[in-house]
Amino acid sequence: MTINGSIMITGSRDVEREAARALFEQHLSPFISQGRTWLLGTARGVDQWAMEWLLENSETCWAVVPYTRFKLPQWVQASLDEMDKVVELQLPRRKTASAIRNRHMVDLAQIVFGFWSGKAGLTVKTLKYALRQRREVHAIPVPLSDKL
């Protein structure tokens, strides 16, 4: 099931707040105020900064969590209260849970944005999965000076 007009954001954890916000202004601003649903994970880094930026722009945001919201770190709880919806996948606690969550978000999304710091990992795997699923994919490299 794809949500009409939905956009997923994924990205590296080692991206600083100001760098992420500048990239969002550059690449995501054209998609703001169009009645879209934004699908977000709840990890530190790009997920965290996207959640903050989109909520500031009064966008419709869904957090998709691999377990339940109450098994997430305390720092993310306040942001979850501001989300329009929290999707709890209630997966078993395994290393693959975040990857399964990301594939679920891709399956819901029409467009996938990945902000990638250059390291191998889940962001790249998610973008490759999105391409295989024939989603519109935007892979945005984070300049080296903009990482932690």
Rounded to whole angstroms, how far apart are CA atoms 87 and 41?
10
Rounded to whole angstroms, how far apart are CA atoms 20 and 7?
17
Segment 107-119 shows an average pLDDT of 95
Rounded to whole angstroms, how far apart are CA atoms 37 and 48?
17
Specify the pairing of strand 111-116 against strand 136-141: parallel
Task: Please report the pLDDT score of residue 145 as a whole number.
Answer: 61
Rounded to whole angstroms, how far apart are CA atoms 102 and 14?
18
DSSP annotation of 17: H
Task: Please report the pLDDT score of residue 1 as a whole number.
Answer: 78
pLDDT in tens, 7-60: 999 999 999 999 999 999 999 999 999 999 999 999 999 999 999 999 999 999
Q: Is the pLDDT of residue 147 over 90?
A: no
Task: Please report the pLDDT score of residue 71 as a whole number.
Answer: 86
- The fold of the 7-146 domain, in CATH, is Rossmann fold (3.40.50)
